[in-house]
Amino acid sequence: MLKVILIVSSVILLLFLMMCFLVKPGERRIESFDIRTFAHRGYHDENAPENSLTAFENAKRLGHGVELDVQLTLDEHLVVFHDQDLERMCGVSRNIGDLTYEELLEYKLKGSNEKIPLFEDVLAILEDRPIICEIKTQKGVTDIRACKPVCEAIDLYKGPTANS
């Protein structure tokens, strides 16, 4: 029994040390983020649905950084949208990855006139605001096809970014 406890304790200690090594507590990762407020999916309210161009314009106007999610459409356009499917925001049970961008334009965000924006259009609006960008998964797996075009778009962006 003591041997089992020692083995389990050793494994837990090893995992903890690995986590500390990988995370490096106290180390600042992004020197250029000099703001503390980030608008999650843009600064959205009843007049500007989340992930809409208006929500991103609001965040910029208020001086916030932005957290956003990027994923690929069926025809490999980068769009800014959090959910895999359109149910919550557009009221239809369709997946982003199963639709072309042209098909996505048929749907409005939360009954507004806003559409799901292209990543490049959001970057153009934000100009130089700090961005935290997550590449979303498709059906539980990160779509590696999105990585290169996201990085290429971010390389051209003038503001500070963090990607995951």
3 state SS of 7: helix
Which one is catalytic: 40, 44, 64, 77? 40
Q: What is the pTM of this model?
A: 0.78
pLDDT at site 27? 45
Per-residue pLDDT of the chain (164 residues; tens, 9 = 90+): 777 776 766 667 566 555 555 554 444 444 556 677 899 999 999 899 999 999 999 999 999 999 999 999 999 999 999 999 999 999 999 999 999 999 999 999 999 999 999 999 999 999 999 999 999 877 666 678 888 999 999 999 998 888 65
Is 44 a residue of the active site?
no
pLDDT at site 32? 57
pLDDT at site 6? 67
Is 82 a residue of the active site?
yes
pLDDT at site 4? 72
CATH code of domain 38-163: 3.20.20.190
pLDDT at site 18? 55
Q: Which residues pair with 102 in a beta bridge?
A: none
Residue 136 per-residue DSSP state = P
9-19 exposure pattern, b = at least 16 Cβ within 10 A, e = fewer: eeeeeeeeeee
Domain ranges of the chain: 38-163
Which one is catalytic: 44, 64, 77, 82? 82
